[in-house]
Amino acid sequence: MTHEDKDGLRGICVLGLNYTDQLTIAGGDRLVRALRASVLAMLRATFGADRVYEAPSSGSFVITLQGAPRPALAALVRTALDKVPGCRMRTGSVHFSTTAHSGVIWSGDSLGVGELTRIAAAACAAAYARGVDLVEYDSPDTPQLQADIQSARLLSDAVSAMDESRLILYAQQIVDTDPDSTGRHYEVLVKMQDRKGQEHSPAAFLPLVERTSMICTMDDWIIRHAILGHAAVLAQHDDIHISLNMSGRTLSDAGFGQGIVQIVAQAGIDPARIQFEITETSAIHDLPSAKINVRTLRDLGCSVALDDFGAGLSGFSYLTDLDVNCVKIDGGLVANVVYPKRRELKIVEALVALCADLGLDVVGEHVSSAQIYDILTELGVRKMQGYFIGEAVPYASIFGPAPDQAAPGG
């Protein structure tokens, strides 16, 4: 690329095709190669033949964005994404097509084309991970870019972090507002420690981990370390109950329920002290297996909760399909109950009434203020969790003296 060309460079776009593995299964390698060729031709017709090439290592397409103002080039990227499904290939009586995801870095003059392409590829990967068609970074210094790079590094390091015990267990208390309630209840959370010793919150790595089968391995690691790794102190503190998260992938594993039966028996603690939380946003791939696993957990004596209830429509389906006995109302709804003109207050009120009719326990998540606490109390929510109640603390610390619960948030 000449100096004049570099001066005219507005950005780099990397575009990848979706579900190519499924296309290979359905139509074979020749079909996928033909589809790639058709998409390449479309991109060259859209941006110019000399501004698009295919990256052999990844099968993605690299587009140099130049020769027009940024808004016009951004519109062309959107147009190209819309055109990909039209690049159809016929095999027999079937027309095959696909969709695409892409990433764009809008450049300054400080980086070369190679580094900009690497950043655009990171944006493309971020788009795929989030399930969106386009991620844009305004500059190499964009905070979101640095966060996405960090998340990718943590995902790549997750298996080693488990092997080297760099996953650190934390716990956040769930308070029962009934003055006659006894015992303490904590949700077990996890942070990841990198090789420099810095701890990273679940938000930095779990969303990516949950998109892979690695989440099953991580769920198993957390459950085993929370129960078996602390079996002796759990036995000594029989007033402590714990909640453990399980992804939809984990719950879909046919052997999960029986595995828990063995873990609890080995630990020698009362199963009624353990609750498992199913995150609503985590897809259950095998509902029949999930039903059996939930039934096994309930028969064992464990509680099973739907986490993030109300965040999407799937929760209502799970409520009918799975034998849960608790729901945790999504924090996004809870956070907005303080605004009477918004719909969230009415939605939470309706969810609490529904759960009461069904005989289900209700937990309000993300309770961050006294005002939210009071509103939920008036609505009939008895159990609450959030920063007003208490921040997450190292898991091992909960086995010390019980904290004073007289003043939540204190």
Average pLDDT of every residue of the chain? 90
Asked if residue 91 has pLDDT above 90, the reply is no
What is the structure's pLDDT at 406?
44
Name the strand (E) or helix (H) holding 46. helix 29-47
pLDDT digits 0-9 by tens, 313-372: 667 888 889 999 999 999 999 999 999 888 999 999 999 999 999 999 999 999 999 999
Name the strand (E) or helix (H) holding 293. helix 287-300
CATH 3.20.20.450 in the chain: give the residue spans: 165-399
Q: How confident is the model at residue 280 (pLDDT cuts 50, 70, 90)?
A: low
Q: Is 67 left (phi over 0), alpha (psi -120 to 50) or beta?
A: left
What is the structure's pLDDT at 282?
62
Q: What are phi and psi of 281, to 5 degrees?
A: -80, -5
CATH 3.30.70.270 in the chain: give the residue spans: 3-141
pLDDT digits 0-9 by tens, 92-141: 777 889 999 999 999 766 678 888 999 999 999 889 888 899 999 998 88
What is the structure's pLDDT at 409?
54
Contacts of 234 (CB under 8 A, 6+ apart): 227, 240, 242, 267, 269, 273, 399
What is the structure's pLDDT at 407?
47
Question: Which CATH code for domain 3-141?
Answer: 3.30.70.270
What is the structure's pLDDT at 408?
62
Asked if residue 267 has pLDDT above 50, the reply is yes
Classify each residue of 344-356 as buried b or exposed e, where b means 16 or more C-beta atoms within 10 Å of its C-beta.
bbebbeebbeebe
- Contact between 172 and 383 (Cβ < 8 Å): no
Q: How confident is the model at residue 279 (pLDDT cuts 50, 70, 90)?
A: confident
Q: What pTM value is reported for the model?
A: 0.83
- CA-based nearest residue to 99, from 23, 44, 33: 23
Contacts of 296 (CB under 8 A, 6+ apart): 257, 258, 260, 261
Encoding tokens for residue 121? 């590829």
Separation of alpha carbons 388 and 410, rounded Å = 8
What is the structure's pLDDT at 96?
87
Asked if residue 6 has pLDDT above 80, the reply is no
Pure H helices in 109-175: 113-130, 143-163
- CA-based nearest residue to 173, from 188, 162, 153: 188
What is the structure's pLDDT at 5?
46
Asked if residue 57 has pLDDT above 80, the reply is no
pLDDT digits 0-9 by tens, 9-52: 889 999 999 988 888 888 888 888 899 999 999 999 999 999 99
pLDDT digits 0-9 by tens, 76-89: 999 999 999 999 88
DSSP state of 282: S
Interhelix angle for 113-130 vs 143-163, to 10°?
Answer: 70
What is the structure's pLDDT at 78?
96
Q: How confident is the model at residue 402 (pLDDT cuts 50, 70, 90)?
A: low
Residue, of 159 and 9, whose pLDDT is higher: 159
What is the structure's pLDDT at 281?
58
Contacts of 281 (CB under 8 A, 6+ apart): 308, 311, 312, 314
Classify each residue of 103-119 as buried b or exposed e, where b means 16 or more C-beta atoms within 10 Å of its C-beta.
bbbbbeeebeeeebbeb
Fold for 165-399, please state it.
TIM Barrel (3.20.20)
Report long-range pairs for 212-217 (Cβ below 8 Å, ≥24 apart): 212/155, 213/249, 214/155, 214/158, 214/159, 215/247, 215/249, 215/250, 215/282, 216/247, 216/249, 216/250, 216/253, 217/159, 217/162
What is the structure's pLDDT at 3?
35
Distances (CA, A) of 385 to 185, 215, 261, 362, 399: 10, 24, 28, 11, 19
Encoding tokens for residue 299? 């028969």
What is the structure's pLDDT at 410?
47
What is the structure's pLDDT at 131?
85
Distances (CA, A) of 98 to 28, 30, 229: 14, 15, 47
Contacts of 309 (CB under 8 A, 6+ apart): 280, 315, 319, 327, 328, 329, 330, 351
Separation of alpha carbons 124 and 18, rounded Å = 11
Average of per-residue pLDDT across 232-241: 95
Percent with pLDDT over 70 in the chain: 94
Distances (CA, A) of 90 to 34, 97, 98: 10, 9, 13
What is the structure's pLDDT at 27?
81
What is the structure's pLDDT at 92?
75
What is the structure's pLDDT at 1?
39
pLDDT digits 0-9 by tens, 174-202: 999 988 888 899 999 999 999 999 999 99
- CA-based nearest residue to 351, from 369, 339, 364: 364
Which residue type is seen at 146?
Q
